[in-house]
Chains A and B, each alone.
Chain A
Amino acid sequence: MTPWKHGLLWSAVAVLCAWTLVPIYLLALGAFGGRAIVSEWPKPFLPVGLSLDTLGAFLAIDGVWQATWVSVQAAGICMVLALLLGMPAGYALARFRFAGAGSYRLLILMTRAFPVAILALPLTVSFIRLGLYDTPFGVALLHAVLAVPFATLVCASLFQGIPAELEEAAWVFGCSRLTGFLRVVLPLALPGIAAASIFAFVLSWNEVFAASVLTVRHRTLTAYLLSVLSESPLHVQFAGGLILIVPSVIFIFLVRRRLFAMWGIGNR
């Protein structure tokens, strides 16, 4: 590589990093720096006079921990539902040839084009009737609608990547279709499935619109922050924002390699 190209590459890397890191940095600055830094301009580049006071204050707000617990429940249930429905559907797409498989695949993709708002508002009515309104399970159901198509397609491509011969070998050597799946297909697909499930978790964790509509008292963290923090001082909002992105960043970091594999970008 010529020095010139080298420079170009690194500047591109720098721009990309800045694109994601600067907002996070400013968020962190606001969260740790307190009231003064948030309104200061120009911002001090180096953090001075940091304290955990604001974060502490934020975590002391009534209902933050309860909302976090609701979020964890909703995201957990969403993840489980996405796997329970996505894995069999993905297996069917990967292993069986049936009439309409192609259009089924397309239809799954199309559900992602369906606006959450149109889904959430009528569901509110039904959920109230069914007693699911304002429960983590209700939120999880709706988030599962968003996560299942994704999980299905990812599982289908994961299973497709596992040679059918391996499964046939399992059958010949004593497995039924189910035990063959559990003993051979699942272990081989497990890393990808773990990545897909974390993705479903994060998707539910981050979703705010449907969660706001479907809950009043038992809000998820995102919905809660949206309603509470709009009236809070700016630096507390910063603290809330920082705490919200932390789990997502950690999860994505943990499964980063798998995400690349999942999306078909070779990474060995």
Chain B
Amino acid sequence: MASIIIDRIQKSFGPVRALEEIHLEVHDGEFLALLGPSGCGKTTLLRIIAGLERQSGGRVLIGGRDVSALPPRKRGLAMVFQNYAVFPHLTVADNIAFGLRMAGADKARMRRQVERAAALLHIEPLLARYPAQLSGGQRQRVAVARALAVEPAVLLMDEPLSNLDALLRLEMRAELKAVLAAAGTTTIYVTHDQTEAMGLADRIAVMHGGVIEQIGDAPEIYHRPRTRFVGGFVGSPPMNFLTLPVREGEVALGGLTLRTPTTAPEVVLGLRAEDLRPAAPQEGFPFELRVAEPLGSHLLLTGSTAGQLLRVVVPHADGALPAPGQVLHLRPDPARLNWMDAASGVALETRA
């Protein structure tokens, strides 16, 4: 177990800046997710931590030790790859034992560790098989078992579930969380799937364009996005953004008057779909419904307010769906308003 410090790491591929001065600290035993769309630099950052890619500048410290110049094998870490990278010419048992064998572990320890890792991932019956005889989900288990068998100080995972089908992914996700919590290994987990990040991680670092836009726990990222990008990337449906004119520190939204912490002529109001409630006309703002989609217990309403797109999730009791074209009135939860600078998209401090 060890902490990880990413100190001003930069990476350029020729003229292209893939990572801009990244600073990140992962605590001992913490599970951190690097979340972002493809091309945001999250995999590059992970590969730099692993030593598979050389940084253009900055340092990586694992357990207080500067490993920036060390090859992967000397960094005391293990990795789970996107395509599993299970060795096809070795049996499952030999695959799991690979790291220990390279480290020169004795036979008894090797057998003990392989059995323990295999038991943890429920693949004991497969130990004698070759990877070609396994399904994708089973190969993924082998890859995780191989990583855990070496009892690494740091575990890196690069979109490990993205090649599994949806149902299997859900199952593996729950299992992974339990297994990793039991192991207590410091983990960095790269994903583009926000539900995976929210479900698994202690903290999430949202990356975009080679920069970490926000680091925080799931509720913080979800309810208090630091930038417009984070709000729009995390959550399904994504956060609503209304660009509104400001007059003397106040914004008029239908019948509502809201105080805003800016003096700029315009401000962006970020609203989560479920933070809006139906209200009486004089207590809310008008919302013109275009489509109503039942989601089981809830109803997803898509429509517009002041000519801008708005999605709302409201509890759905039995009964008729509201008709398209109907005008509803909504009231935002005053504690859940996110004010953002209209130009930069950065959140403004809310001191109501």
Residues of B near A187 (CB, < 8 A) are 89
Tell which of B57-65, B96-104, B305-313 binds the partner: B96-104
State which of B72, B85, B150 has its C-beta within 8 Å of the C-beta of A163: B85
Q: How far is the CA of A184 from the CA of B87 in the complex (A)?
A: 7
- Is B52 interfacial (CB 8 A cutoff)? yes
Q: Across the interface, do A174 and B99 meet the contact criterion of CB distance under 8 Å?
A: yes
Is the pair A165, B102 in contact by a Cβ cutoff of 8 Å?
Answer: no
Query: Does B146 lie at the interface of the complex (its beta carbon under 8 Å from any beta carbon of A)?
Result: yes
Q: Which residues of A contact B78 (CB under 8 A)?
A: 172-173
A179 within 8 A of B: yes
B229 touches A (CB below 8 Å): no
A179–B79 CA distance with the chains assembled, in angstroms: 18
Which residues of B lie under 8 Å from residue A168 when comparing CB positions?
Answer: 50, 52, 72, 79, 81, 85
Verify B52–A171 contact, CB threshold 8 A.
Answer: yes
In the complex, which residue of chain B has the Cβ closest to the Cβ of A165?
Answer: B85
Render A146-173 as a binary contact track against B, CB cut-off 8 A, 1 for contact.
Answer: 0000000000000000010110111111
Q: Are B79 and A172 in contact (CB under 8 A)?
A: yes
Decide: A173 near B150, CB < 8 A? Known: A179-B102, A188-B88. Answer: yes
CB–CB A165/B73 < 8 A: no
Q: How far is the CA of A169 from the CA of B73 in the complex (A)?
A: 10
Q: Which of B62-80 contact A (CB under 8 A)?
A: 71-73, 77-79
In the assembled complex, the CB of A266 is this many whole angstroms from the nearest CB of chain B, namely: 16
The total of Cβ contacts below 8 Å across the A-B interface reads 56
Classify the secondary structure of A's interface with B: helix
Does A175 sit at the interface, judged by CB under 8 A? Answer: yes
Docked complex Cα distance between A184 and B51 (Å):
19
Q: Does A232 contact B (CB under 8 A)?
A: no
Contact with B along A16-54 (1 / 0, CB 8 A): 000000000000000000000000000000000000000
Q: In the assembly, what is the distance between CA of A268 and CA of B89, in Å? A: 16
Q: Is A227 an interface residue (CB 8 A)?
A: no
B26 to chain A, nearest CB (A): 18
Q: Which of A188-211 contact B (CB under 8 A)?
A: 188
Instruction: Contacts A165-B81, A179-B102 given; indicate if A172 touches B73 (C-beta within 8 A).
Output: yes
Give min CB distance, B234 to chain A, whole Å. 29
Chain A neighbourhood of B77, CB < 8 A: 172
Contacts of B81 in A (CB 8 A): 165, 168-169
Q: Flag whether A66 is at the interface (Cβ < 8 A).
A: no
Q: Is A111 an interface residue (CB 8 A)?
A: no
Give the distance to chain A from B277, nearest Cβ to Cβ, in Å.
49
| Minimal Cβ-Cβ distance residue in B for A162 | B88
Compute how far the CA of A179 lies from the CA of B73 in the bound complex, rounded to whole angstroms. Answer: 11
Chain B residues with CB under 8 Å of A174's CB are 73, 98-99, 102-103
Task: Say yes or no: is B304 at the interface (Cβ < 8 Å to chain A).
Answer: no
Q: Is the CB of B83 within 8 A of A173?
A: no
> What chain B residues lie within 8 Å of A166 (beta carbons)?
85, 87-88
Residue of B nearest to A167 (CB): B85
The digit string for B19-43, where 1 denotes a CB below 8 A from any CB of A, is 0000000000000000000000000
Question: Per a CB cutoff under 8 Å, which of A169, A176, A184, A188 touches B79?
Answer: A169
Interface residues on A, range: 10 to 19
Name A180's closest neighbour in chain B (CB-CB): B73
B24 CB to nearest chain A CB (Å): 20
Contact status B52-A172, CB under 8 Å: yes
Contact residues in B for A171 (Cβ distance below 8 Å): 51-52, 71-73
Q: Beyond A174-B73, A176-B71, is A165–B89 a contact (Cβ under 8 Å)?
A: no
Find out whether the CB atom of B88 lies under 8 angstroms from the CB atom of A173.
no
Which of B73, B79, B88 is the most central at the interface, judged by chain A CB atoms within 10 Å of its CB? B73
Q: Give bound CA distance, A200 to B31, whole Å.
A: 53
Closest B residue, CB atoms, query A184: B87
B103 — which chain A residues lie within 8 A by C-beta?
174
Residue of A nearest to B149 (CB): A173
Q: Are A188 and B98 in contact (CB under 8 A)?
A: no
Determine which residue in A163, A171, A179 has the highest number of CB atoms from chain B within 10 A of its CB, and name it. Answer: A171
Collect the chain B residues with CB atoms within 8 Å of residue A170's CB: 87, 98
Chain B neighbourhood of A165, CB < 8 A: 81-83, 85
Q: Within the assembled complex, what's the spacing in Å between the Cα atoms of A128 and B15?
A: 55
A232–B36 Cα distance when bound, in Å, is 80
A168 vs B103: C-alpha distance when bound (angstroms): 16
> A25: shortest Cβ distance to chain B, in Å?
42
A186-B186 Cα distance, complex, nearest whole Å: 33
Within 8 A of A (CB), among B224-254: none
Q: In the complex, what distance in Å separates the CA atom of A165 from the CA atom of B160?
A: 13
Q: List 10 A-B contacts (CB under 8 A).
A: A165-B81, A165-B83, A168-B72, A170-B87, A171-B73, A172-B72, A173-B98, A173-B102, A173-B146, A173-B150
Interface positions of A (Cβ within 8 A of B): 163, 165-166, 168-176, 179, 184, 187-188
**A-B complex: 9 closest residue pairs judged by Cβ atoms:** A174-B102, A173-B99, A169-B85, A165-B85, A171-B72, A172-B79, A174-B73, A172-B72, A187-B89
Q: A174-B98, A188-B88 are in contact. List 19 more A-B contacts (CB 8 A).
A: A165-B85, A166-B85, A168-B52, A168-B72, A168-B79, A170-B98, A171-B52, A171-B71, A172-B73, A172-B77, A172-B79, A173-B99, A173-B146, A174-B73, A174-B99, A174-B103, A176-B71, A176-B73, A179-B102
